[in-house]
Amino acid sequence: MSAQVQAIPQAAHPQDELLRTDRIPHIWCSGCGIGIAFGSLMAAIAKCDTPRNDISVVSGIGCTGRLAGYIHLDSFHTTHGRAIPFATGLHLVRPQNKVIVASGDGDLLAIGGNHFIHAARRNVDLTVICVNNFNYGMTGGQLAPSTPFGAKTTTTPMGSPDEPFNFCALAAACGATYVARWTALHIRRLTVAISEAMNKKGFSFVEVIAPCPTAFGRRNKIRRSLDLLKFYYERSVVKNHLAPGEATIDFDNKLVVGKFVDIERPTYLDQYDMVNRGELEAWPATKVDSSGAGKRKAG
C-alpha cells in the first residue's frame, strides 16, 4: 500500500497584493539587501492613501532595476541611467500620479548623474530611492561612484583610488526637498522615510545602504551577508537634521544615517504654471539704472 503524499499548502506572503507572484522566484542573489529595500517600499505603498492606479514605479538597469518587474503596479523597466527622464515624462503627463524611481547607485548617480542633478534642481515631483551597494553588482562588481576609497572591485583590484560621492549632500545641494539615508537593517526607519518621501511635494531622495555579498563583499573579504549588514549597521550613527555635507560615509570612523532635509519649495510644475499664467514678474526684480553704470535701484 503506497503512502499518500499530501501537498504542503502555500503560505501567502503579506505583500502578495503588491507582488507579481508569477514572476517569482526573483533573480537577486542570496543575502542581497535589495529585498529588504523592496519590502520597505511595499510596506510604505500599502500604508499610502493614494489609489494603486495612481502610483507608478520606474527603474533603470541593474540589480535594483529589476524591482519594477516584480511590483504589481504600473511599472517601467527603462534604459540604463534614464529612469529619471522616463519618470519625469510620466509625471508631466499624469501629474496626479505618485511616481517612484527605484534604482541602484551606478544607474542613478553615474550613468544617470546629470538627470539626477537637474531633476533635483528643477524640483520635479518624484520620489527617488537609491539602493547603494557600492559597486555595479549585476555586471560583475565594477567600480561605482559610491565605491569607498581603497575598496576592491573587479576594475580596481588594488583598491579604489577615488573618493566616493556623498549622494545625500549632492541631492541637498541640487535642491531636493527631502533627503534621508538608512542602512538595510534600519527597516522601520527606512519604511517611515520612504512613506515621508512619497508624501513630500517635490524631489525627495532616500539612500539605502545595502549589502552585496556576491560582488562587493566577496572581493573585500566580507563574504557573508549578515556580516556585511552588521558591518554597516554597527558603524552607523543616527544624526537627524545634520547638514548633508557633514553626513559622511566613513568606514574608518562613522557611517552617518538619518533624515537630513525636509523643506518646502515650489515644484517644477508650480513654477511652469506660474510662467504660463503670466504671473511671473519681469526679470530682473531690480531695475538697472541706465544713467549710472553698474548701479541698480529697487523696482
User: Locate cell 534642481: which residue?
Assistant: 121
Nearest to 108 by CA among 90, 91, 142, 131: 131
How many CA atoms, within 13 angstroms, populate the side-chain half-sphere of residue 128? Answer: 40
Quote the cell numbers at residue 69. 518587474
- CA pseudo-torsion sign 215, 221, 224, 226: negative
Q: How many CB atoms lie within 10 A of CB 104?
A: 32
**260-291 pLDDT tens trace:** 999 999 999 999 999 999 998 888 877 777 66
The b-or-e profile of 36-63 (16+ CB within 10 A means b, else e) is: bbbbbbbbbbeebeeeeeebbbbbbbbb
Whole-model pTM: value is: 0.91
Nearest to 162 by CA among 180, 142, 147: 147
What is the distance between the alpha carbons of residues 82 and 158, in angstroms, rounded to a whole number?
Answer: 31
DSSP-assigned states of every residue in 148-162: PTT--BTTBTT---S
The length of the chain in residues reads 299
Residues pairing with 156 in the sheet = 153
* Strand ranges for the chain from DSSP E: 55-59, 74-77, 98-104, 127-132, 178-183, 204-209, 236-238, 255-262, 286-288, 296-298
Quote the cell numbers at residue 21. 507572484
Q: Distance of CA 290 to CAs 59, 138, 143, 286, 298, Å?
A: 52, 61, 55, 12, 13
What is the distance between the alpha carbons of residues 250 and 197, in angstroms, rounded to a whole number?
Answer: 25
Nearest to 196 by CA among 145, 131, 125, 127: 127
Residues pairing with 55 in the sheet = 98
pLDDT tens, per residue, the chain with 299 residues: 455 667 777 777 788 899 999 998 999 999 999 999 999 999 999 999 999 999 999 999 999 999 999 999 999 999 999 999 999 999 999 999 999 999 999 999 999 999 999 999 999 999 999 999 999 999 999 999 999 999 999 999 999 999 999 999 999 999 999 999 999 999 999 999 999 999 999 999 999 999 999 999 999 999 999 999 999 999 999 999 999 999 999 998 899 999 999 999 999 999 999 999 999 888 887 777 766 554 444 43
Q: What values do phi and psi take at 209, rounded to 5? A: -80, 115
- Residue 63 near residue 133 (C-beta atoms within 8 A): yes
